[in-house]
């Protein structure tokens, strides 16, 4: 089965052709980082306008590089949500129009499920139950997956996502955007013991994440130690590298520590770590150590599949088709779409008389 995946949830315009959910025939991505870098983050209006100008050529390129024609496609999968409403509208509208013209089914895919499926391409099949940490600029969630297609939310962030915290701390230190790769790079020259930051403690005892307090602790440390942000064009001072190392260590310890805590209850047979922050080598190393302690494998996507891409969307759509899902004829962007609330989507479809099975 050949599926065209389309991803426009934030600031990457992407299209990919995937066979049977595991073989990538093509994967095209246009990143808008250079467009948004001067603003220190994604500007939604600019992002949606850029998607409009890029999506046609990106899809054409994906089809050409896959060596197929549009008529050979069996289905289209497109990110329905969550994400930026303007960006999502571009992808969903294009996908629906293309599907109508080709008389092919179009499936709305949850972006977070796409990240879970990003490990399908270069790893053995996942053994269930699995525990999946999805960590990026917009999402930090931990899911218990008792079987393929079922998602139980085990942990979530109470405030900032981990990737968002990386970006905000990098901006505070004058390091630029995006913050994750920069902080990871300079932390190698830093001493994490010189700038220690506390992990958040959740008052109700739930194994959730919180990074706003860590961000505040970094700001206080910078102020109390009279540390100046990095000037444009300059190399970061030793103190800045130490802060980066200490901050990164605390984030990673929080993420992996929570995985370890939840693992005691879930007893997973596979760990999954995916999303943009899964590129971080320290996170990969600590997660691999946890997996070794548990005696189970840990699956990561390759780095080019960790950030937003359309291959993962096509893989998730393939899984939906295998489980018997029927496409929503009124498919529309949903910025609040939640992976663990898919039964709500089922109920809405049934109200309109549309059959739907997960």
pLDDT in tens, 223-237: 999 999 998 878 899
pLDDT at residue 315, rounded to an integer: 97
pLDDT in tens, 17-55: 999 999 999 999 999 999 999 988 899 999 999 999 999
Mean pLDDT of 122-138: 93
Per the domain annotation, does 21 fall within a domain?
A: yes
Per the domain annotation, does 357 fall within a domain?
A: no
Q: Using a CB cutoff of 8 Å and minimum separation of 24, what contacts does 165-170 make? A: 165/211, 165/212, 165/214, 165/215, 165/251, 166/137, 166/248, 166/251, 166/277, 167/40, 167/41, 167/137, 168/215, 169/215, 169/218, 169/243, 169/244, 169/247
Pair 333, 284 in one domain? no
Q: Which of 274, 300, 326 is the last residue of a domain?
A: 300
Pair 65, 187 in one domain? no
Mean pLDDT of 3-23: 97
What residues does 7 pair with on adjacent strands?
Answer: 14
pLDDT at residue 150, rounded to an integer: 93
Pair 157, 179 in one domain? yes
Mean pLDDT of 138-143: 91
Pair 84, 44 in one domain? yes
Cβ neighbours of residue 328 under 8 Å, at least 6 residues apart? 108, 345, 349, 354, 356
Pair 220, 263 in one domain? yes
- Cis (ω within 30 of 0) for the bond into 178? yes
Per the domain annotation, does 134 fall within a domain?
A: yes
pLDDT at residue 74, rounded to an integer: 97
Per the domain annotation, does 296 fall within a domain?
A: yes
Q: Which of 300, 319, 337 is the last residue of a domain?
A: 300
Pair 280, 328 in one domain? no
Per the domain annotation, does 358 fall within a domain?
A: no
pTM: 0.89
pLDDT over 80 (residue 115): yes
Pair 266, 335 in one domain? no
Q: How far apart are CA 9 and CA 87, in angstroms?
A: 6
Q: How far apart are CA 302 and CA 340, in angstroms?
A: 25
* Confidence class for position 254, pLDDT limits 50, 70, 90: very high
pLDDT at residue 136, rounded to an integer: 87
Per the domain annotation, does 122 fall within a domain?
A: no
Query: Which residue range is the domain that position 75 belongs to?
Result: 2-117+306-351
pLDDT in tens, 303-348: 899 999 999 999 999 999 999 999 999 999 999 998 864 433 444 4
Q: How far apart are CA 240 and CA 80, in angstroms?
A: 39
How many domains, in total, are found in the chain?
2
Place of tokens 């991505």: 29
Find the CATH number of the domain harbouring 71.
3.30.420.40
Rg of the chain over Cα atoms, rounded to whole angstroms, equals 21
Q: How far apart are CA 131 and CA 263, in angstroms?
A: 7
Mean pLDDT of 93-99: 97
Contact in structure between 76 and 1 (CB atoms under 8 Å): no
Pair 61, 153 in one domain? no
Please provide the average confidence, as pLDDT, over all residues in the chain: 91
pLDDT at residue 351, rounded to an integer: 41
Pair 113, 261 in one domain? no
pLDDT at residue 191, rounded to an integer: 94
Cβ neighbours of residue 41 under 8 Å, at least 6 residues apart? 167, 177
Q: How far apart are CA 307 and CA 78, in angstroms?
A: 16
Q: 281 φ, ψ to 5°? A: -65, -35
Per the domain annotation, does 177 fall within a domain?
A: yes
pLDDT over 80 (residue 242): yes
Mean pLDDT of 242-260: 96
pLDDT over 80 (residue 161): yes
Contact in structure between 303 and 283 (CB atoms under 8 Å): no
Pair 336, 279 in one domain? no
Pair 273, 331 in one domain? no
- Other Cβ atoms closer than 10 A to 199: 16
Lowest mean pLDDT among 113-117, 170-174, 293-297, 338-342: 338-342
Interhelix angle 179-187/162-172, rounded to 10 degrees, is 70
Which three-class secondary structure state does DSSP give residue 246? helix
- Other Cβ atoms closer than 10 A to 269: 15
pLDDT at residue 206, rounded to an integer: 86
What residues does 272 pair with on adjacent strands?
Answer: 132, 299
By percentage, how much of the chain surpasses pLDDT 70?
A: 95
Mean pLDDT of 261-285: 95
pLDDT in tens, 180-214: 999 999 999 999 999 999 888 887 878 899 999 99
Per the domain annotation, does 61 fall within a domain?
A: yes
Pair 177, 315 in one domain? no
pLDDT at residue 205, rounded to an integer: 79
pLDDT at residue 316, rounded to an integer: 97
């Amino acid at each position: 089965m050949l599926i065209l995946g389309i991803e426009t949830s934030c600031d990457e315009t992407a299209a990919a052709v995937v066979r049977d959910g595991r073989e990538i025939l093509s994967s095209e991505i246009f990143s808008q980082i250079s467009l948004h870098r001067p603003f220190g983050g994604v500007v939604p209006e600019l992002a949606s306008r850029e998607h409009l100008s890029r999506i046609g050529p990106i899809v054409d390129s994906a089809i050409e590089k896959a060596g197929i024609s549009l008529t050979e496609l069996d289905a289209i999968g497109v990110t329905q949500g969550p994400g930026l409403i303007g960006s999502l509208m571009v992808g969903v509208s294009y996908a629906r129009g293309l599907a109508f013209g080709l008389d092919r089914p179009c499936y709305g895919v949850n972006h977070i499920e796409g990240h879970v499926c990003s490990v399908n391409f270069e790893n053995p099949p996942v053994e269930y139950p699995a525990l999946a940490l999805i960590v990026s600029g917009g999402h930090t969630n931990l899911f218990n997956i008792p079987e393929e297609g079922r998602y139980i939310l085990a942990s979530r962030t109470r405030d900032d996502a981990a990737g968002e915290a990386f970006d905000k701390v990098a901006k505070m230190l004058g390091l630029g955007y995006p913050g994750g790769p920069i902080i990871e790079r300079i932390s190698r020259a830093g001493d994490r013991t010189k700038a220690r930051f506390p992990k958040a403690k959740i008052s109700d005892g739930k194994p959730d994440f919180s990074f706003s307090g860590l961000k505040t602790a970094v700001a206080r440390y910078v102020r109390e130690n009279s540390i100046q942000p990095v000037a444009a064009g300059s190399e970061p001072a030793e103190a800045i590298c130490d802060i980066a190392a200490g901050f990164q260590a605390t984030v990673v310890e929080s993420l992996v520590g929570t995985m370890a805590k939840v693992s005691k209850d879930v007893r997973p047979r596979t760990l999954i770590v995916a999303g943009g922050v899964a590129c971080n080598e320290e996170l990969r190393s600590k997660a691999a150590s946890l997996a070794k302690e548990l005696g189970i494998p840990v699956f990561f996507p390759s780095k080019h599949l960790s950030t937003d891409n359309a291959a993962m969307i096509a893989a998730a759509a393939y899984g939906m088709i295998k489980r018997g899902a029927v496409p929503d004829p009124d498919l529309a962007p949903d910025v609040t779409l939640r992976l663990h609330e898919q039964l709500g989507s089922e109920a809405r479809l049934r109200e309109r008389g549309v059959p739907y099975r997960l």
